[in-house]
Structure 1
Amino acid sequence: MAFFHAKASHRRKINHIDRIRDETDCWCDEPASIQGVIQRYFHTIFTSTRLTREELNEVIDTVPTRVTSKMNRKLLEDYSAEEVKAALIQMFSFKSPGPDGMPPVFFQRFCNIIRSATTTTVLQLLDDHTFNPSLNFTHIVLIPKCQKHDIVAHFRLISLCNVIFKLASKTIANQLKPLLDHIISLSQSAFIPGRLITDNVLVAFELNHFLKNKKRGKEGHVAVKLDMSKAYDRIEWNFLEDMLCKLGFNNRVVSLIMLCVRSLTYSFMLNGMQFGFVKPERGIRQGDPLSPYLFIQCAEGFTCLLQAKEHNGDIRGVAAVRRAPKVSHLLFADDTLIFCQATKEAMECIQGILEKYKRASGQLINLDESSIFFSSNTAHEDRMEMATLLSVSIDSMPAKYLGLLYFVGRNKRELFSYVRTRVWQQVSGWKEKMLSQAGKEILIKSIVQSIQSYCMSCFELPDSLLREIESIATNFFWSNMERNKIHSVAWDKMCISKKEGGLDFRKMEMFNVAMLAKQGWRIISNPNLLISCILKARYYPDNDFLHGKIGYNPSFTWRSILAT
């Protein structure tokens, strides 16, 4: 208990906002002045740019209708009490409470007492489109995104909603989720059942490996990495509504979704104290179960703009080999990677697409987090000209996409040392004296062994690095502030199952192999995936995956998967 109390106190201290810089770069340290800076910043974010019909149509006209009459009939059916109950069960029990002060566990635990009133209120909103406006009142909490957080832009906005309204949003989201695979283009991998973030990572790695090694040919290729600033908070409501209508959703479905979006009101929480009131004109909430699915439907407008230019031949995608499918862009929510020919005309085309999408959707490119990478045969003068045209920096290796490296050189231990650093930082921040060995076991299994899982899904990490991570874990397990670190049992024996006398810790090398084997099985089971098609064309064009060879100049991801 002392450990978790200390962690909570430390976290509260980190999240406490003592002072902040205002628009003129002056420090504000009085609560009233800090509140004023925050309110002015978000007033700008939440104020609509008043779109014209022409600006909207520049994007909307490129979007095809994808929602069928059968899908609409399903969406128009009355919601049932069972659907509301299922949504309640799916909610995380101990999420931070909103203005109602109640986490979902209260509604789950006392469901037999309050089920009738809760279900009636939710169904009244979903079926009759009527509800008490106070249900959609939301607290905004600011969480630091980086160590140095001295301006409002350095904070992540989290919306804390009332559970009743969150339950209604979750029920709508459950209806939409099964349809998204038929509505959203294959280039988008976020929030859609059956699509994984690692698919994008593997495709990006193969294509960037191709760019890195392309040293011949007159025409070069380019990868442009884009990041949107406050992506959810800038979505224009008119754009969202027009996108839903153009995709083919019935007017009643669109009306319900827009009711949930437009009835929103905000108040801010600063160091535990509530202040201010905002009636936004645009934006969707981070923390609302429905928001991710609405965002990727808005992002479909950007995809359609790119596809239209690709169809006209203005931009051409990149293929890892001649037989492989061409890829012009990859999306994971607001993280975008564009591949095309390295010409001034192509960059001007991309710049035009970004301007159209920005005007229609309200999105703003975060130039500090955006970058560009060129194939090796692109002249230095051309690189500088194109980077200047897009106002982004030229990527230097090692670079990251979706949190993972997409270039790996010879010194893999050094490149992946950030994994070891993250593990060490976590362990060194824990107070050993406050933890029993049972507590340490739980923390090692839930945190230390999960940190590298994502990286292990795509890369075979060096054995020496994995042994070092195991060493950090075992030192932490046996350490005590009052005595020397004596390891009573070897790590290998601690990895044995509890039935056989061990502690069920993961053997890192074996776990790495298992995670990569899952990628191999996914490629075998889903031959129509983009990554499956690229790998087949590149490494086993006339054979199947199980008979694939390492090939000439293979990527590190292919080497890793093949090693299993």
Structure 2
Amino acid sequence: MDIGFKGYPFTWKNNQEGQRRIEVRLDRALCTAAWFAMFSNTIVFHELPLDSDHNPLRIEFEGLKSRTKTPFRFDARWLQKEECHEIVNRNWDAVGLCEDRMRKCEKELETWAKQMYQDQNKRLMEIQKRLEEILLNDRADDIIEEEKCLMNELASIWKDEELFWSQRSRINGLQKGDQNTNFFHSSTVHRKQRNKIVSLKDEDGNLFSHRADISSHVTEFYHSFFTKSDRIESSTIQDFPKLVTQELNDEMCIMPTVEEIKAVVFNLGPTKSSGPDGFTGMFIRRFWSRVGPDFCKEVQGFFHTSIMPQGWNDAHIALIPKVQSPEMISQFRPISCCNFRYKIISKILASRMKKWLPGLVSEMKAAFTRGGMIQDNIIILHEILHQFKNHRNGDWDMMIKLDMCKAYDLVDWECLDTILEAYGFLEKWRGWVNACIRTIKFSILLNGSPTESFFPTRGIRQDDTISPFLFILMSNTLSFLIDKALSRGEIRGIKLNQNCPRVSHCLFADDTVIFGKASVNEADHIQRILRHYGEVTGQEINASKSSIFFSKNTPEAIRNLVTNKFGFPPSICHDKYLGVPSEWGRSKKETFQFLLDRMEKKGESWKSLLLSPGGKKVLLKAVIQAIPSYIMSVFLLPLSLTCKMDSILKKFFWSGSMKKKSIHWCNARVLEKPKEEGGVGFRNFHCSTCTYW
């Protein structure tokens, strides 16, 4: 496996300048998974070159050692032990809130588990030693019976180990029946190494390398980032139509029953990342008969008082690198990990809102609404771009593609509450929502250990079940402002033909595209709309990632005037929209080459070398074959491309690599047969893309 690196991304250059300059990463440090398990704090640094065209590598075997205690995590293996059930039952008999009882369970479970697995490791060594002795001696009947017992005990220990590493690997695609302990373990250590933060730089170039300094810098950055700005204006949303009826309010504000709460608990993912309390859904589901009534009582108490129970809304922020070898905190993506018990409340609110959402938002919003499909927006965009390319006469048209900067994180709470009130939601419902978003306590996970906690004053969490629905309602303000300007004749939109309705914009979550006439006057009106939208919601447009595309007949002078007014770069529209290329030329194969690159990258992953043939088959079917499915649902892929995809899949199945030749032991058609007919069950990519058409 590749240990990874910190610092400059390349290790060799050809000492040329301009377009002739070439830089690649040729030098790297490799190790086995077993070695890395022993020296998991190893870090490789790319140093500056002196008289060579290669960068020297500096390897530190200690790295950044954390002396802080890692948070408690409920272990799936404990559910198989009778002692775990006894500990939970004993501590749940105590008087107090769920928070207090869970803390008591946590302390006793940690003490018990530490001693138990120390004893289990000793027992594992004893079993292996005894089995070696048995294999070297004569095999009498009593010895054979002892061997069977020892093998069963050894299999139980191995099953525990596989369950432990599968829980920590975050891998969901592999099924039971194939022991993938090495794969799960390697996935875990590789992810941990990739996400490790050794040092950070601030905007002034100051380097922080000690944990205390990094912790202070990270906490200060996110505390400032989640602090509310002073800009808020509600005048533009006062004439919102009240779309929430009395019937809707009555249904939304019903007290949840025990049956509804139980259905939510067993619908949420039991193995998803836990929050600060460390208890996953599998704990509550397994012990539902014992702990369920108390959780139901506190959940119903929240809906009665609108007061969040103590500790329920605490959350960790995990930092996921957005680039390879990040150097600044802005190059990490913050993902919050909520407590499972909070997710119960959030899921109840989200489930009720989901039913009524389509009637509350614009028909141009397709995200998270029943009947709304992401493919609709893609097809509409491609039809309009096709007209842009062939538009030689008539009015000049333009398309503005907006990128919102940190859309969820910049949501203003006051504005959100004002919008919910404008829709007609009752104060009771808004009180529940405000309790969910305003009582959060964050702490940053720095290399697995939490930093000092803080309270945000703006933003909604991306992993919170209710967040997408709240964001849709808030961003529907933009649809309202655009539709209002369209009705006044301030903007024109686009009409593909006489029988089509006018299309002024397309929205999917925070992806926004606005269509209009390419003129300075219309650009002024759109700018005013975007400025008002930002003032009332706190949203900010990322000008560097936004772009403008013009119809073919638009004069160059008009293009320059409109582009300069917005400050967005002009686009030739080769970028992507909702993960799909906006347009292509004569060769579809070149346009969709990124699918082949993505499949090859997955196949060449070092983790795949640790898979057994059975595990390899499951990985191919669950991951590799799923990569082009989204594109296939929108476009018919060319035969030459699907044949290449089939070749990649078959080659990886037989050799475990994209670069290593091997014997194909049967015809490719045999692999595509169903398992019942003696095949493997791989789908033919050409047949798959044809099924959508």
TM class by shorter chain equals 0.7 to 0.9
Deviations 1:466-489 (A, max 9, x none): 111111111111115899511112
For 1:300 and 1:294, how far apart are their aligned partners in 2?
Answer: 10
**1:127 corresponds to which of 286, 301, 304:** 304
Q: Residue 159 of structure 1 contacts residue 286 of structure 1 at CA under 8 Å; is this kept in 2? A: yes
Aligned to 1:81: 258
1:485 aligns with 2:662: yes
For 1:410 and 1:342, how far apart are their aligned partners in 2?
Answer: 27
Q: Residue 62 of structure 1 contacts residue 304 of structure 1 at CA under 8 Å; is this kept in 2? A: no
1:465 aligns with 2:641: yes
**2:579 corresponds to which of 385, 399, 403:** 403
**1:11 corresponds to which of 188, 191, 212:** 191
4+ residue stretches of structure 1 with deviation over 4 A?
480-484
Q: Residue 307 of structure 2 contacts residue 435 of structure 2 at CA under 8 Å; is this kept in 1? A: no
Deviations 1:22-64 (A, max 9, x none): 1223333332332233223222321112345xx2222x12421
CA RMSD of aligned residues (A): 1.7
The 3-state SS of whatever aligns with 1:133 is coil
For 1:71 and 1:132, how far apart are their aligned partners in 2?
Answer: 27
Deviations 1:296-355 (A, max 9, x none): 010011111111111111111112222211111111111101111111111111111111
Aligned to 1:200: 377
The 3-state SS of whatever aligns with 1:322 is coil
Amino acid at match of 1:70: E
**2:675 corresponds to which of 498, 504, 513:** 498
Aligned to 1:110: 287
Identical pairs, percent: 34
Change (3 A) 1:404 1:28: same
Q: CA deviation at 1:383?
A: 1.4
Q: CA deviation at 1:432?
A: 4.2
Q: TM-score, normalising length from structure 2?
A: 0.72
Change (3 A) 1:213 1:196: same
Q: For structure 1, list consecutive stretches of 5 or more residues without a partner in the other structure.
A: 518-564
1:214 aligns with 2:391: yes
Q: CA deviation at 1:410?
A: 0.5
Amino acid at match of 1:502: G
Q: CA deviation at 1:424?
A: 0.4
Change (3 A) 1:129 1:431: closer
Aligned to 2:147: none
Please give the residue correspondences for 1:54-453 in structure 2 after superposition, counting only pairs within 5 Å: 55-58=233-236, 60-147=237-324, 149-217=326-394, 219-453=395-629
Aligned to 2:211: 31
Deviations 1:192-239 (A, max 9, x none): 12111111111111111111221222x311111111111111111110
Q: Residue 398 of structure 1 contacts residue 415 of structure 1 at CA under 8 Å; is this kept in 2? A: no
Q: Residue 298 of structure 2 contacts residue 309 of structure 2 at CA under 8 Å; is this kept in 1? A: no
Amino acid at match of 2:342: F
For 2:310 and 2:509, how far apart are their aligned partners in 1?
Answer: 29
Deviations 1:347-370 (A, max 9, x none): 111111111111111111112221
Q: Residue 121 of structure 1 contacts residue 131 of structure 1 at CA under 8 Å; is this kept in 2? A: no
Q: Residue 62 of structure 1 contacts residue 308 of structure 1 at CA under 8 Å; is this kept in 2? A: no
For 1:207 and 1:381, how far apart are their aligned partners in 2?
Answer: 22
Aligned to 1:510: 687
Amino acid at match of 1:419: L
Deviations 1:478-533 (A, max 9, x none): 1158995111122222111111111111111111111x23xxxxxxxxxxxxxxxx
Q: CA deviation at 1:127?
A: 2.7
Q: Residue 441 of structure 2 contacts residue 454 of structure 2 at CA under 8 Å; is this kept in 1? A: yes
Change (3 A) 1:70 1:137: same
Q: CA deviation at 1:287?
A: 0.9
For 1:62 and 1:379, how far apart are their aligned partners in 2?
Answer: 38
Deviations 1:243-284 (A, max 9, x none): 001011111111111111111111111111110222111111
Amino acid at match of 1:406: S
Deviates more, 1:439-448 or 1:105-114: 105-114
The 3-state SS of whatever aligns with 2:307 is coil
Amino acid at match of 1:68: T
Q: CA deviation at 1:19?
A: 2.3
Change (3 A) 1:106 1:185: same
The 3-state SS of whatever aligns with 2:242 is coil
The 3-state SS of whatever aligns with 2:203 is coil
For 1:313 and 1:483, how far apart are their aligned partners in 2?
Answer: 63
Aligned to 1:534: none
Higher relative contact order (CA 8 A, sep 6+): 1
The 3-state SS of whatever aligns with 1:360 is helix
For 2:269 and 2:678, how far apart are their aligned partners in 1?
Answer: 33
Q: Residue 224 of structure 1 contacts residue 339 of structure 1 at CA under 8 Å; is this kept in 2? A: yes
Amino acid at match of 2:193: K
For 2:595 and 2:569, how far apart are their aligned partners in 1?
Answer: 25
Aligned to 2:107: none
The 3-state SS of whatever aligns with 2:405 is coil
Q: Residue 133 of structure 1 contacts residue 263 of structure 1 at CA under 8 Å; is this kept in 2? A: no
Change (3 A) 1:301 1:257: same
Q: Residue 603 of structure 2 contacts residue 656 of structure 2 at CA under 8 Å; is this kept in 1? A: no
For 1:401 and 1:484, how far apart are their aligned partners in 2?
Answer: 37
Q: Residue 87 of structure 1 contacts residue 174 of structure 1 at CA under 8 Å; is this kept in 2? A: no
Q: Residue 549 of structure 2 contacts residue 573 of structure 2 at CA under 8 Å; is this kept in 1? A: no
The 3-state SS of whatever aligns with 2:341 is helix
The 3-state SS of whatever aligns with 2:507 is strand
Q: CA deviation at 1:144?
A: 1.6
Q: Residue 276 of structure 2 contacts residue 339 of structure 2 at CA under 8 Å; is this kept in 1? A: yes
Q: Residue 98 of structure 1 contacts residue 163 of structure 1 at CA under 8 Å; is this kept in 2? A: yes
The 3-state SS of whatever aligns with 1:258 is helix
Change (3 A) 1:51 1:366: closer
For 2:265 and 2:360, how far apart are their aligned partners in 1?
Answer: 26
The 3-state SS of whatever aligns with 2:586 is coil
Q: TM-score, normalising length from structure 1?
A: 0.88
Q: Residue 432 of structure 1 contacts residue 476 of structure 1 at CA under 8 Å; is this kept in 2? A: no
Q: For structure 2, list consecutive stretches of 5 or more residues without a partner in the other structure.
A: 1-180
Amino acid at match of 1:125: F
What is the number of equivalent residue pairs in this alignment?
A: 512
Deviations 1:403-432 (A, max 9, x none): 101212101111110010000001101444
For 2:491 and 2:516, how far apart are their aligned partners in 1?
Answer: 6
